[in-house]
Amino acid sequence: MADLIRIGTRESELATWQAKNVAGKLEALGFETELIFVKSEGDIDLTTPLTEMGGKGVFTKALDDALLDNQIDLAVHSYKDLPTDNPLPLVVSAVCKREDPRDSLVAPDGIDFLNDETVQAVIATSSNRRRAQWLHRYPNHEITNIRGNVNTRLRKVKEKEWHGAIFAAAGLIRINLDHHISDYLDWMIPAPAQGAMAVMVREDDDKMIDITSNLNHAETNLCTGIERELLNEMEAGCSAPVGAHAWLNDSGDTLYLKAAALKTDGSLSYDIELSAPAKSAGGLGRKAAQELLSQGADKLVEEMKK
């Protein structure tokens, strides 16, 4: 009988899709799998804004605990939800191929209001990064908080008298809800590692590390690693108004990185674009972070910590 691999996941449709996707890959390698559902703090408390819950670990701690207690063999995460500092004896053993990393706007009544500067539109998001970038571009708009899984947020934006809500395109694409997308926000710099899934295991579980390493997508691992390196160097958590996107050119020999750190109210933005040969791109995230900090973003980071 093949080994049974217990996969920990949150209960939302998107989290379940991600876990089933990993399960399918493992089953193709000849392993049996079982999904173990775990509730996170972020799933239980659906009213407190994420920024007030501390951001770090809100969606991941319960799965970390299940791994450490040997209730599961691996956990599947949206990589952007994982803190860049991990003091626990857990390791990301694979980063799966990235879906579309962009943010998107769901606007039930269309996007014509974006072209009318007199409209004081109401846009929903619980992300400081999205809030800051939206207000930087549309300073006369109002941002309102929105919580819940993808389906809940889609329902809310339809029911409320909001002009739109911002979603990660990847989440909508994965569960076949991308027909709700009114506009892809190409101008908005995504969260570090947005659109990528991470497989986490115990660091002393050599067998599971070996098995899951087959799921790793080298290009995604490289690019998300650079983005998370920037976030870590800035000492900014995953709820901070910092965006970073790294990608390879078509020939795969050059890596490009675009990043921004903003004041939460959108009144100030520090931006940077760098590139490096893909083979020697390690450290580019740290370099970009240091340049942003020297521009003045260090004051924003201090503001975030208060």
Q: How far is it, in rounded angstroms, from Cα 29 to Cα 33?
A: 11
Average pLDDT score, the chain: 91
Single out the catalytic residue among 64, 73, 81, 103: 81
Question: Is 81 annotated as catalytic?
Answer: yes
Q: Distance between CA 295 and CA 133 in Å, rounded?
A: 18
Which CATH code for domain 232-305? Answer: 3.30.160.40
Q: Which burial class, exposed, middle or buried, applies to 117 when counting CB atoms under 10 A from its CB (0-12, 13-18, 19+)?
A: exposed
Determine whether 173 is exposed, middle or buried from the number of CB atoms within 10 Å of its CB (0-12, 13-18, 19+).
middle
218-235: pLDDT as tens digits: 999 999 999 999 999 987
Alpha carbon dihedral 76, 220, 280, 187, in 10-degree steps, equals -120
Q: What pLDDT is stored for residue 171 in this prediction?
A: 96
| In the chain, where the domains are located | 4-97+196-216, 103-185, 232-305
Distance in angstroms (rounded) separating the CA atoms of residues 36 and 16: 10
CATH class for the domain made up of 4-97+196-216: alpha beta
Give the per-residue pLDDT at 71. Answer: 96
Taking the model in full, what pTM does it have?
0.90
- Rounded CA gap, 28 and 214, in Å? 11
User: Is 103-185 the same fold as 4-97+196-216?
Assistant: yes
Give every residue of the chain whose pLDDT is below 50, as ranges: 1, 53
Contacts of residue 138, Cβ cutoff 8 Å, sequence gap at least 6: 114, 121, 123
CATH class of segment(s) 103-185: alpha beta
Helices and strands, number each (H, E), in the chain: 10, 13
**Token pair 């997508």: residue:** 217
At 1 the pLDDT is 41
pLDDT of 59 reads 72
